[in-house]
Amino acid sequence: MKSIWKPHEGQQTLALSIDTSVYEILYGGARGGGKTDAGICWLLKGTTNPNFIGLVVRRNHSDLRNWLDRASQLYVGAKFTGKPTTIEFPNGSKIYTAHLKDKDAYQSTQGWNINRLLIEEVGQIPREEDYLKLLSSVRSTTDVKPQVFLTANPGGSGHNWLKARFCIGEKKSGVAFAGKVSKRYRIYIPATIDDNPTLKNSDPDYVNFLESLPEPLKSAWRNGDWDVFAGQYFKEFHPAKHIISEEDAKSKGFGDINNFRYIGIDWGYSAPFCALWIEVTPENKVFCYRELYGTEKHPMEWGEMIRDLTREDIVMSLGDPSMWTRNPMSWKNPASQMYTDRSIANALMGDAGNPLVPNLQPANNDRVNGWRNLAQMMHHNKEVEPNFFIINGACPNLARTIPEQICDDRRPEDLNTNLEDHCVDALRYALTHTQAPSKVKKEKKNAMQKDFERLTQEPSPSGFEYNFEK
């Protein structure tokens, strides 16, 4: 097959020279690194075998259309037919195309027999499990060995799972390593615009544009830095500042008898359930000191676990308001194998003879002001320390998922709800009664606010103790 394209020396050549002993290749990092051309020509290598079947996947129809326009320039002699497009070469080899317009699209390729899979902008796939569904179709019953080629920039809804899967920042780039479970080899090959002299020389204004970007865009788009990325919601969060030892927390006021303690609850059954215990000082410093996280337990089980973990006085437990109206058919009582007619909130609270979650109330579900309040608490600089802290080791899932949150594409002031947001939701609920930006006038106080003021004016009993078990 004739080609009119030649790879640039360096990273592009390296990416295209990886043999089939390496199963997954991730190429890219910064913008302008020549990712699209590299992926197109990587697929072309397989078409020398008449038994070859390839698949290219992009996020949506318009992205796929752009890819096909470029492929038509490089695939000389191939026929582009059908919708979605099939590319057929003179020797009989084929490349199919698909786009991931919705969640069901991940199921559409299951059962296919694909030799080579190219996913453009794989970081736009929100969940690793969806990526693995695509991978399940990459296999071979012929002499063509299966392989996967991925392109990506830092950012996007899949940023964190992709970074973790390819151990970016942990292992040396350009060196293959075996996966922990599958044992198949993977490799990450970074590339920036400096690795694409064609673009750099033909469009120097684009280089100047990348150089002029504010942080963190410049670090992500110009340099391919995976530690910061565009779209990250809680840019203020920094583990070195916000995750502290219990000893350091006590020096900042944690554990004082005059502090107030709350529990935030985000319900889930197949999706994770999360309960977070927080302590708030009179100066509005917030300490997260206990976490309960898991799946597939009915509400009474979670309620019993919260009761057993709670040894201190709790001012109020605050949960997702939908738990009071949630269809009771959404969870099942495994003891009787029957559905209950009680709400999720009622089941969590228990009954008079067996109280579970203390003083459970529906939280204020103002998402935008809730996120703003949390970001404000995280804010810090050389002169100002943050007001938000996590006790080291006490809330591992909260510490893990805060930096993973990204902005919603259509509503950037809110979070993208397709990610693992259960801990931050529970935290937002727990912070309902802290000092948050609000449009509500001071003279308009609801019953919960009045109850809170009454409770906070009463002296807190002494003798409580903390349980830092995860």
DSSP 102-146: STTHHHHTTT--BSEEEETTGGG---HHHHHHHHTTB--SSSPPP
Residues 212 and 310 occupy one common structural domain: no
Q: Tell whether 168 is covered by a domain.
A: yes
What is the mean predicted confidence (pLDDT) over 427-443? 62
Residue 236: closest CA among 437, 85, 384: 384
Crossing angle (nearest 10°) for helices 61-74 and 35-46:
60
Q: Tell me the sheet residues that pair with 360.
A: 317
Cα 383 to chain centroid distance, Å, stands at 31
The pLDDT of residue 406: 82
Residues 207 and 255 occupy one common structural domain: no
Task: Quote the CA–CA distance of 423 and 204 in Å, as a whole number.
Answer: 44
Residue 131: closest CA among 98, 161, 86: 161
Q: Tell whether 295 is covered by a domain.
A: yes
**b/e per residue, 383-416, with b = 16+ CB within 10 A?**
eeebbbbbbbebbebbbebbbbbbbeeeeeeebb
Residues 212 and 299 occupy one common structural domain: no
Residues 115 and 173 occupy one common structural domain: yes
Residues 129 and 271 occupy one common structural domain: no
Q: Tell whether 227 is covered by a domain.
A: no
The pLDDT of residue 103: 59
Q: Which of 187, 222, 257 is the C-terminal boundary of a domain? A: 222
Residues 28 and 85 occupy one common structural domain: yes
The pLDDT of residue 362: 93
Q: Tell whether 234 is covered by a domain.
A: no
Task: Determine whether 122 is exposed, middle or buried from the number of CB atoms within 10 Å of its CB (0-12, 13-18, 19+).
Answer: buried
Residues 158 and 191 occupy one common structural domain: yes
Please confirm whether the linkage preceding 146 is cis (ω < 30° from 0): no
Q: Tell whether 230 is covered by a domain.
A: no
Residues 187 and 100 occupy one common structural domain: yes
Q: Which residues contact 174 (CB under 8 A, 6 or more apart)?
A: 14, 187, 188, 189, 190
Average pLDDT in the chain: 84
Residues 20 and 160 occupy one common structural domain: yes
Provide the residue range defining the domain that includes 289.
Answer: 239-457
The pLDDT of residue 266: 94
The pLDDT of residue 417: 84
Domain count, the chain: 2
Q: How confident is the model at residue 104 (pLDDT cuts 50, 70, 90)?
A: low
Q: Which of 190, 222, 254 is the C-terminal boundary of a domain? A: 222
Q: Is 183 left (phi over 0), alpha (psi -120 to 50) or beta?
A: left
Residue 27: closest CA among 147, 108, 180, 202: 147
The structure tokens 């990886």 sit at 18
Q: Tell whether 228 is covered by a domain.
A: no
CATH assignment of the domain containing 167: 3.40.50.300
Task: Quote the CA–CA distance of 188 and 25 in Å, as a whole number.
Answer: 6
Top mean-pLDDT range of 233-242, 271-280, 351-360:
271-280
Residues 298 and 414 occupy one common structural domain: yes
Residues 55 and 203 occupy one common structural domain: yes
CATH assignment of the domain containing 415: 3.30.420.280
Chain segment 43-101, per-residue pLDDT in tens? 998 899 999 999 999 888 888 889 999 999 999 899 999 988 999 999 999 999 988 87
**In the predicted structure, residue 393 carries a pLDDT above the cut 50:** yes
Q: Which of 222, 257, 284 is the C-terminal boundary of a domain? A: 222
Q: Which residues contact 99 (CB under 8 A, 6 or more apart)?
A: 57, 58, 59, 60, 61, 63, 64, 84, 105
Residues 197 and 247 occupy one common structural domain: no
